[in-house]
Each structure stands twice: as structure tokens, then as C-alpha cells.
Copies of this chain bind each other. A is one copy, B any other.
């Protein structure tokens, strides 16, 4: 039996979906007893040439042709962005269609509205492709690991910044130069803010944390620092310290108190995340029963993303075949609280420019001592005849103590600049 599917959007991801469904439709039919047919495709321009070939009547520029077609049982949204994707998805659900989306922005921002609507109307929404591309993350968290209380998430979940940081590490080039190159190659968007300012990672972390910690989490709950301030100098110091700089997304749940952070981090080379390069993504998960787990793979791209979407599609076909819906529920535990600005104690890397005069270092040491922040490593280099550069790695310290030391540092005349403050992870921890 055939199942009619409507596709909203036919860019990189949408084309991948069409290609993969065509290639695997026979196998999917044997697996599920139902044959998926993409009957209608919403496009902006029906005359544009595309990597996949459609019959003329398949293409439409009018969303109603899909959303109001009673024959269409399932809608796949690959438009991206908030509107009109949000309106289309809500309309599709209310019209009795199951929805699959790769739209991380939408799920991070309006996930609760969409999932609540789906539950009210008895339809399913799947969004494996929204985080980590091809890597199965959402489903393992929602299904395989459900017996666990998950306490920690830690990962590299944005390919663009990981590409930029990997290139900076490999070539020693500065941020702006590598960003330009990434834009020229199409790895970074012309407006790269969402990626390089850490917002994309923050949204994906919000999605993962909602599921793993059974809490309502949005981007507003995440402390986000991007990578614009990371310079070739920091990359070189990281190397000297046996580390690489990665944009890590971290979530912790300590007895219902959640902390969510996206920030550039020095990852020591003995940590597996140090070896996740270029456009790859990886997520560490710690569960109280399972222990430590890691999931690694391609975080973006046409076919990797399509792999996750068509995986979800097969899930919907199984549901249709079994005549069930809302099989996997969202569990929200009301006692969970997000505490912003309350990251776990960690070691920190700081780079300062100070006046090159006698007594400055003793002054800094005193500031750290008063704040009870002890230093593990200190590198000091003259940077000009009047200034010196000091890099400090602290022992493990709470965020409040560190902030106390930083406040005093900022107010100290001989400290000219505090360039970067980053956590350090890996090693004997």
C-alpha cells in the first residue's frame, strides 16, 4: 500500500530526502509493508533546475496543495527558519498529518507548542535530523537510554565552528581569515552569526537537554559564548598546553538543577572530543546506569541529514502500519530548574596582557590567592617592550570564585586586557 508524503522545501536537505526515498522505496516497503511516495513538493520556483527530477505536477508553489490534500498522510519540512515553517507544521498537524522536521531553530524555540499541538490532535512529530545530522541522538536519548537518569551531556554539535577551529589549529591562521575561507567554500553562511556566536549550538543543546533532562529548556536558558574572540595566539597556547580549542556544548543535571553552557573550551588531547575534527559532530552522554557513552558522526550535509529524516519516515510508516500514534511521550519533570551562570567547577585558561613592570605578577598572584583560585600552570612572555602576556591555567574552581578574581583583575591598572577565559577539560579529571 502506498503512503503519500508531502515535502516542504527542496534545497540541499530536501533533495537528499527525495534521492534517498527513491533509492530505498522498495526496501522500505518490504520493511514496513508500506511504500512511501513523495507526491507533492513545495518549492519557491518550480522552474529552477534541481539535482533530482520531478514530474511537473509534483511541484507546487502553494503550501495548501500539500497541507489541504487529504491523501497526504505525512509532511516532511526542510524549509528551515521559524516562519512559515511553524505555521505550516501546525497546520499539517491539525489536518491530521504526521510531521518530520530537521528544523532545529523551530524545535528549540517553539518545540513545546508544536509537541503540545501534536499531542492534542494525536499526531507525531519526529526531529532526529535537527541535532547531529546523521548521528542517532534523539531516539537513543528518548528510547534506548530511558532507564537512565542522565546527568551530563557534552558535545561538539556545530560543524561550522568545528571546521573553523580545526582549520585554525591546523594552519595557525586567525579567526577572520579562516571564516572568510569557510564562507568562500560554502561551509559558513554569509551571515555566520548563528554559528560563530554559539547560538546554533545553544539551540541544539536546548533540544538535547529538554529530552535528556525531562525539562523545558530553550536558548534563553543557555549561557552562550561564541568563538569570535579566539585568536591564533590562543590556539598556539592551547597547543603548548597539550590541548585544542573546541566549541563545547555542555549540560549538567545535579539533583534537578540544570546548567547549560556553550563556550570555547580547551580540550586536552587525551579526551576523545579533542579528535573530533572538521564537520564531524560528537556527543558524550553520562547516565547513572549506562555510564559514559559517545556518539560520533556527520553533523550536516544532504545525505547524512536525509538519513536521519528517512529513518524518522520509516518510524512513521511503522506507526501507520500499526495504526498507532504518540507512542513515545515527552516526560516533563516539574522540579527541574535551570540555573544560569552556575557552571560546574572546572579548570580555567586565562590570557592577560599586563604592563611589563616589576611586581605585576606578584599582584596577580595575590588577586588569585585572595579569591582562593590556585594556579596550575603559568606561561609568561614579553609581547612588546612595554607589555607582557600571561597565560594562567587554574586548578578546578567554581564560577563564582573565578568571577571574583576576574572582577578584581578588571579593576587593576597594571592588567591591560583579559583576552579570553575558557574552561579546560580532559586530563586527570
Contact = CB atoms under 8 A, between A and B. Distances in A.
Contacts of A314: 143, 146-147
Given A290-B298, A291-B297, A324-B324, A308 B144 contact: yes
A122 interface: no
B293 A135 contact: yes
Smallest CB-CB A-B distances: 8 pairs: A147-B310, A136-B144, A134-B290, A293-B297, A289-B307, A294-B296, A290-B307, A289-B303
29 contacts: A20-B289, A27-B331, A28-B147, A31-B329, A134-B289, A134-B290, A135-B293, A136-B136, A140-B140, A143-B311, A143-B315, A144-B311, A145-B311, A146-B314, A147-B306, A147-B307, A272-B272, A272-B275, A287-B307, A289-B303, A289-B304, A289-B307, A290-B307, A291-B298, A293-B298, A294-B294, A318-B327, A322-B327, A324-B324
A287 to B, nearest CB: 6
Contact of A287 (B30, B134, B143): B134
A331 B289 contact: no
Interface in A273-298: 275, 287-298
A172 interface: no
A61 B275 CA distance: 51
A407 interface: no
A146 B192 CA distance: 33
Nearest to A287: B307
A363 interface: no
* Most B CB within 10 A of own CB, among A139, A147, A149: A147
Interface string A189-223: 00000000000000000000000000000000000
Within the oligomer, what is the number of copies of this chain? 2
A339 interface: no
A148 interface: yes
A318 B315 CA distance: 14
Given A289-B306, A289-B310, 16 more contacts: A20-B147, A28-B147, A136-B136, A136-B145, A139-B140, A140-B144, A144-B311, A145-B311, A146-B314, A287-B307, A290-B297, A290-B304, A292-B297, A294-B294, A318-B327, A324-B324
A161 B312 CA distance: 37
